[in-house]
């Protein structure tokens, strides 16, 4: 029994069976519309509109009497499945696209300009998460929309392949001995293999999302041609003087033994530092200040505060703000120690405990009360003066006894915390470094790669600065009577985003890109780019205007080498046009491995080869942000069909300080232009409650499981890619977005209903031919109004795509294609479609409207739901000729719907009338519902509706509709009742005798009275409408006049013979 099984699971549909004869006559007798009703047409319509359908159903059940006219009823039929069966069906559709090279063919054939969305490369490490899905699907929606708009779309997917995480993964996979023996080249081979394997895994997932791209030729940052292009970017920047080598404090990760970029840091909550207040004794003051201060010698101290006591050995100065007021205060041990010890974990130093003397401290005047309470002392102010007075005073370093100066720092010195005097260690802080340059201070950084003190730090040698070293420094300061107070301090502190361990600031020899050299150019370029959302511009401006020089060197193996040679004796670096060109040529042929396996002599250009022994090659690699930041040069500038700048970059909001910025800087420095015309940013994906997803919370939504289903198919059904894509379209991605089981269920429900609507359209066009179209001018008003609404929807949806506001499209589709259409036009259409007569005008004009809806909706949704759109297209029961005269075999061979201005020009009066009728109809439905509840009627077809309008003009217009000759506009068809009578005057007797009444009031129409009673006449066997004429036709005594005409006009179709 194939029939019943087909009710449970829709027939599997071959991809090429469009226009093939229907093999399942069983569809004809299925209670088809019961499913449609559940699928898309709402429960209300199920009750009211099942007349002809029930006739068909009963016929199928063999009810002899009622089956007499079943072959004259045009029941819907289609090969398009009710259920998506996406887990099976979507891969079939993707294979179809792939086999026919649909993306490439359509992009090549399109005659509009080229559109280039340049892909930001995901990191080739691990499997994909929801953020990747959001990102790539957004890109695909845009690309597919542009494809429909006739653009030549090229989308080259990329992967970021170098860098520490991959290097660490490779290292972690080995035992200690193997690791020690490991040569750089071997490590690089393993890292490359790991990256390529990951690329393949991720690519498979991206394809399954339905993303169209040049998957056969992606860009990988490890490919020789990419590396060569990157070396060229570096070379050009170097030759323009934007690259320099310097000893500067950089973010350094002791746990990874490398410098880190801003974008490689994170600032976890809850970091606590050991903060200390310490004093440095003043030894001398220059002449003018001398008079003022000497009375306090030798007990006069500078008080400082730091959260990194381990940097005190590198202290080279104390900085003050020239414009702030400072005081000399006498420290009175007025308040007892008890005050301090009450506070948890706060420890007073010996500076406060020696009570036989009263020392003097210099602090910012504004901070005196705060310090009194913190230290538990009384500070008696003796003198006040501006910070500038203190310049060039000298103090003795409490640990090494050296004399150091007081210097003037900048506005970074405030009275928000601390003492207003800043301990300055130019080797360990950015601002300190700048102040140090101004005063020629030594850049001391007695810390090694692993974060341990070096010999330079004397007694602390070998101690870890973030552990024992820190403690030892605090202890030593206390012994020197310098320590005032130690207390835990909670603040934002940079951590290595990979190892999750704290970083330090440390001066090392590094390569830098001098952002100052082209900052203004970059700021000007930002101004010319379109930023979506608009506030993103402020973010990139803030980050670009404040960023310091970019440290681009890393002390790691898995990366592109910094192509620099050093002189053996002078250590002077060698970079010239020739060296860059030569290295670039070598790398483009052999890949960057060559830097490791070729000799310096081979790597040097001819000009230097005779002196090769005087040089050695550098061992630093480039920051991976320089890799990905060069993609515009390696991809946009090199591939056919692409152009520079790209039309669009689209990434997460964190890329303002990552890829958007590194791309901007390299591009500005070498070309003077931004690499993009428009930049879109999206937020992060959180769980349904707005929490970050994490394995430990168990709230991770895995895109692969969303699509293919999880272990438990009840909790984790396979929704398919389109449901995931529908979710992407539904969220306002400019902020953080939420996803979880509940949201996915809602999406799946929306998808199911939309599929139901499309199935209704397809199944009622099974006998449709384009040449049967009714010309627009001949259409009934209800059909013109439907096209007017459709055209407005097309326009609004196009606006949504143009502005990249997909959630608006989602809302319109949900409201229009699922609710509005089903509740009205399609609901009313069933009568015309099923019993209006196969070749009748009323059915064909309705089919004209349905075809227009199908052809529009399928294109409107195609960018978001490409699989659904293609599934519809492959089941299209008629041929569609595209603009170039060929048959559209795939949905993307169509173009975006051409605007039908005439459809929009429906007279305003008519539009108003139909809007009124829609509202009136829902009031009528309420009264019908009451009548049904009161058992006066069963289905709405058993009812007759009375209307009386207080406004004469409205009465006329309603009467016009009542007597509409075209069936379609007739009011009783619109209300799905058997009769409607518009009363000229309120007939009191009638009004009081009608059992169910209601009212509709509107400014335009005034009051309209609604009454419902039982319909006149008998029930027509064929269409279930009640009519006085039923019984008056001798040859067909059970038919109404309409059906009688239809039967007489319609010869018995061949299908009648089937069952």
User: Where does this chain bind Zn ion (CB under 5 A)?
Assistant: 1020, 1022-1023, 1040, 1043
Output the six-digit token pair for 1056: 């009648």
Query: By three-state DSSP, how is residue 1055 classified?
Result: helix
Query: By three-state DSSP, how is residue 552 classified?
Result: coil
Q: Closest distance between Zn ion and the C-beta of residue 925, in Å?
A: 22
Residues with Cβ within 8 Å of 700's Cβ and at least 6 positions away in sequence, in order, are 129, 693, 694
Q: Is the dihedral of CA 822, 825, 827, 831 positive or negative?
A: negative
Angle between helices 184-208 and 86-99 (to 10 degrees): 110
Residues with Cβ within 8 Å of 350's Cβ and at least 6 positions away in sequence, in order, are 478, 479, 481, 483
Q: Closest distance between Zn ion and the C-beta of residue 1028, in Å?
A: 12
Rank residues 313 and 837 by Cβ distance to Zn ion and give the closer one.
837
Please count the other Cβ atoms lying within 10 Å of the Cβ belonging to residue 275: 19
Q: Closest distance between Zn ion and the C-beta of residue 763, in Å?
A: 22
Length of the chain: 1059
Rank residues 758 and 1043 by Cβ distance to Zn ion and give the closer one.
1043
Q: Closest distance between Zn ion and the C-beta of residue 1059, in Å?
A: 22
Rank residues 8 and 1034 by Cβ distance to Zn ion and give the closer one.
1034
Rank residues 330 and 1045 by Cβ distance to Zn ion and give the closer one.
1045
The β-bridge partners of 260 are: 251
What is d(CA 655, CA 674) in angstroms, rounded to the nearest whole number?
A: 15
**Among candidates 682, 683, 676, 664, which has minimal Cα distance to 530?**
676
Q: Closest distance between Zn ion and the C-beta of residue 39, in Å?
A: 26
Rank residues 522 and 1015 by Cβ distance to Zn ion and give the closer one.
1015
Output the six-digit token pair for 849: 């409207």
> Phi/psi at 28 (nearest 5 deg)?
-60, -35
Rank residues 786 and 1043 by Cβ distance to Zn ion and give the closer one.
1043
Q: Closest distance between Zn ion and the C-beta of residue 1050, in Å?
A: 13
DSSP string of 992-1030, one letter each residue: HH-SEEEEEEETTTEEEEEEEEEPSSEE-TTT--EETTT
Q: Closest distance between Zn ion and the C-beta of residue 135, in Å?
A: 56
What is d(CA 666, CA 140) in angstroms, rounded to the nearest whole number?
A: 27
Q: Closest distance between Zn ion and the C-beta of residue 1046, in Å?
A: 8
Rank residues 818 and 1020 by Cβ distance to Zn ion and give the closer one.
1020
Q: Closest distance between Zn ion and the C-beta of residue 994, in Å?
A: 25
Q: Closest distance between Zn ion and the C-beta of residue 1025, in Å?
A: 5
Residues with Cβ within 8 Å of 150's Cβ and at least 6 positions away in sequence, in order, are 110, 111, 112, 895, 896
Q: Closest distance between Zn ion and the C-beta of residue 1022, in Å?
A: 5
Rank residues 632 and 1044 by Cβ distance to Zn ion and give the closer one.
1044
Tell me how far the alpha carbon of residue 317 is from its chain's centroid: 48
Rank residues 69 and 206 by Cβ distance to Zn ion and give the closer one.
69
> Phi/psi at 444 (nearest 5 deg)?
-90, 135
Contact 37, 1009 (CB under 8 A): no
Residues with Cβ within 8 Å of 900's Cβ and at least 6 positions away in sequence, in order, are 787, 791
What is d(CA 726, CA 233) in angstroms, rounded to the nearest whole number?
A: 40
Rank residues 147 and 1020 by Cβ distance to Zn ion and give the closer one.
1020
Tell me how far the alpha carbon of residue 352 is from its chain's centroid: 56
Rank residues 736 and 1045 by Cβ distance to Zn ion and give the closer one.
1045
Rank residues 227 and 1021 by Cβ distance to Zn ion and give the closer one.
1021
- Look-up of token digits 């900085």: 319
- For 383, 419, 421, the CA distances from 407, given in Å and listed in that order, are 20, 15, 10
Q: Closest distance between Zn ion and the C-beta of residue 976, in Å?
A: 14
Helix (DSSP H) and strand (DSSP E) numbers for the chain: 42, 37
């Amino acid at each position: 029994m194939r029939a019943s099984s087909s009710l449970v699971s829709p027939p599997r549909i071959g991809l090429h069976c469009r226009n093939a004869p229907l093999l399942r006559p069983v569809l004809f007798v299925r209670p088809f519309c019961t499913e449609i009703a559940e699928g898309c047409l709402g429960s209300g319509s199920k009750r009211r509109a099942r007349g002809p359908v029930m006739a068909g159903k009963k016929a199928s059940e063999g009810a002899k009497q009622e089956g007499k006219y079943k072959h004259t009823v045009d029941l819907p039929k289609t090969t398009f499945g009710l259920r998506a069966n996406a887990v099976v069906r979507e891969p079939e559709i993707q294979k179809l696209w792939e086999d026919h090279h649909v993306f490439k063919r359509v992009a090549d054939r399109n005659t509009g300009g080229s559109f280039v969305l340049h892909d930001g490369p995901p990191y080739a490490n691990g499997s994909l998460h929801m953020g990747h899905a959001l990102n790539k699907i957004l890109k695909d929606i845009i690309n597919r929309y542009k494809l429909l708009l006739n653009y030549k779309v090229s989308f080259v997917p990329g992967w970021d392949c170098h860098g520490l995480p991959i290097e660490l993964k490779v290292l972690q996979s080995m035992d200690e001995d193997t690791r020690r023996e490991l040569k750089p080249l071997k490590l690089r081979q393993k890292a490359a293999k790991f990256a390529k394997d990951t690329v393949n895994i991720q690519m498979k997932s991206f394809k399954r999302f339905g993303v169209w791209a040049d998957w056969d030729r992606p860009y990988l940052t490890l490919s020789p041609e990419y590396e060569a292009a990157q070396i060229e970017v570096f070379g050009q920047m170097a030759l323009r003087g934007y690259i320099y080598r310097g000893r500067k404090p950089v973010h350094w990760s002791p746990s990874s033994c490398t410098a880190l970029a801003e974008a490689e840091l994170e600032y976890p909550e809850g970091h606590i530092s050991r903060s200390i207040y310490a004093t440095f004794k003043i030894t001398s003051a220059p002449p003018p200040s001398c008079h003022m201060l000497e009375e306090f010698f030798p007990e006069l101290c500078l008080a400082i505060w730091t959260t990194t006591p381990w940097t005190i050995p590198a202290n080279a100065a104390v900085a003050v703000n020239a414009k702030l007021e400072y005081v000399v205060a006498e420290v009175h041990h007025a308040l007892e120690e008890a005050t301090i010890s009450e506070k948890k974990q706060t420890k007073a130093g010996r500076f406060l405990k020696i009570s036989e003397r009263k020392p003097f401290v210099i602090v910012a005047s504004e901070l005196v009360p705060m310090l009194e309470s913190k230290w538990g002392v009384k500070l008696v102010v003796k003198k006040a003066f501006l910070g500038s007075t203190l310049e060039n005073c000298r103090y003795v370093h409490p640990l090494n006894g050296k004399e150091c100066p007081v210097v003037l720092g900048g506005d970074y010195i405030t009275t928000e915390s601390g003492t207003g005097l800043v301990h300055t260690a130019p080797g360990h802080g950015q601002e300190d470094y700048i102040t140090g340059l101004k005063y020629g201070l030594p850049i001391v950084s007695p810390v090694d790669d692993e974060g341990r003190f070096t010999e330079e730090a004397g007694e602390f040698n070998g101690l870890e600065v973030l552990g024992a070293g820190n403690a030892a420094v605090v202890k030593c300061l206390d012994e020197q009577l310098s320590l005032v107070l130690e207390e835990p301090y909670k603040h934002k502190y940079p951590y290595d985003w990979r190892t999750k361990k704290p970083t330090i600031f440390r001066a090392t020899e590094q390569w830098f890109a001098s952002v100052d050299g082209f900052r203004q150019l970059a700021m000007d370029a930002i101004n010319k780019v379109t930023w979506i959302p608009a506030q993103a511009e402020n973010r990139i401006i803030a980050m670009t205007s404040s960023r310091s020089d970019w440290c681009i060197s890393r002390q790691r193996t898995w990366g592109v080498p910094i192509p620099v040679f050093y002189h053996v004796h002078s250590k002077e670096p060698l970079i010239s046009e020739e060296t860059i060109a030569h290295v670039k040529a070598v790398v483009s042929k052999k890949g960057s491995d060559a830097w490791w396996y070729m000799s310096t002599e081979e790597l040097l250009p001819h000009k230097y080869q005779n002196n090769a022994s005087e040089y050695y090659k550098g061992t630093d690699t480039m920051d991976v942000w320089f890799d990905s930041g060069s993609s515009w040069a390696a991809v946009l500038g090199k591939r056919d069909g692409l152009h520079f700048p790209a039309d669009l970059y689209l990434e997460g909001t964190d890329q303002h300080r990552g890829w958007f910025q590194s791309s901007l800087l390299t591009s500005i420095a070498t070309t003077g232009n931004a690499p993009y015309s428009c930049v879109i940013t999206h937020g992060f994906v959180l769980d349904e409650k707005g929490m970050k997803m994490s394995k430990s919370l168990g709230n991770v939504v895995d895109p692969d499981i969303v699509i293919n289903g999880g272990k438990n198919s009840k909790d984790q059904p396979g929704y398919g890619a389109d449901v995931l894509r529908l979710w992407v379209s539904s969220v306002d991605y400019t902020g953080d977005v939420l996803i979880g089981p509940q949201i996915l269920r809602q999406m799946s429900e929306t998808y199911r209903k939309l599929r139901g609507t499309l199935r209704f359209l397809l199944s009622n066009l099974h006998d449709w031919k384009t040449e049967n179209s009714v010309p627009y001018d001949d259409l009934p008003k209800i059909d013109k109004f439907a096209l007017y609404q459709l055209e407005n929807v097309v326009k609004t949806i196009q606006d949504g795509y143009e502005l990249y506001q997909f959630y608006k499209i989602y809302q319109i589709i949900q409201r229009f294609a699922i609710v509005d259409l089903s509740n009205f036009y399609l609901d009313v259409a069933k009568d015309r479609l099923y019993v209006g007569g196969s070749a009748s005008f009323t059915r064909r004009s309705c089919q004209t409207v349905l075809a227009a809806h199908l052809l529009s909706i399928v294109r409107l949704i195609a960018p978001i739901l490409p699989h659904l759109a293609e599934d519809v297209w492959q089941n299209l029961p008629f041929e569609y000729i595209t603009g170039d005269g060929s048959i559209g075999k795939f949905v993307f061979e169509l173009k975006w719907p051409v605007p039908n201005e005439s459809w929009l020009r429906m007279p305003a009066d008519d539009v108003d009338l139909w809007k009124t009728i829609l509202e009136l109809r829902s009031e009528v439905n309420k009264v019908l519902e009451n009548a049904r509840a009161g058992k006066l009627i069963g289905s709405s077809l058993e009812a007759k509706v009375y209307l009386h309008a207080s406004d004469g003009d409205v009465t006329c217009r309603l009467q016009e509709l009542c007597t509409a000759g075209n069936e379609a506009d007739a009011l009783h068809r619109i209300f799905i009742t058997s009769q409607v009578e518009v009363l000229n005057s309120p007939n009191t007797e009638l009004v009081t005798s009608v059992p169910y009444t209601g009212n509709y009031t509107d400014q335009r129409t005034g009051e309209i009275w609604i009454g419902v009673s039982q319909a006149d006449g008998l029930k027509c066997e064929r269409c279930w409408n009640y009519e006085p004429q039923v019984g008056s036709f001798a040859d067909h005594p059970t038919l109404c006049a309409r059906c009688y005409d239809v039967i007489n006009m319609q010869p018995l179709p061949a299908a009648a013979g089937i069952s």
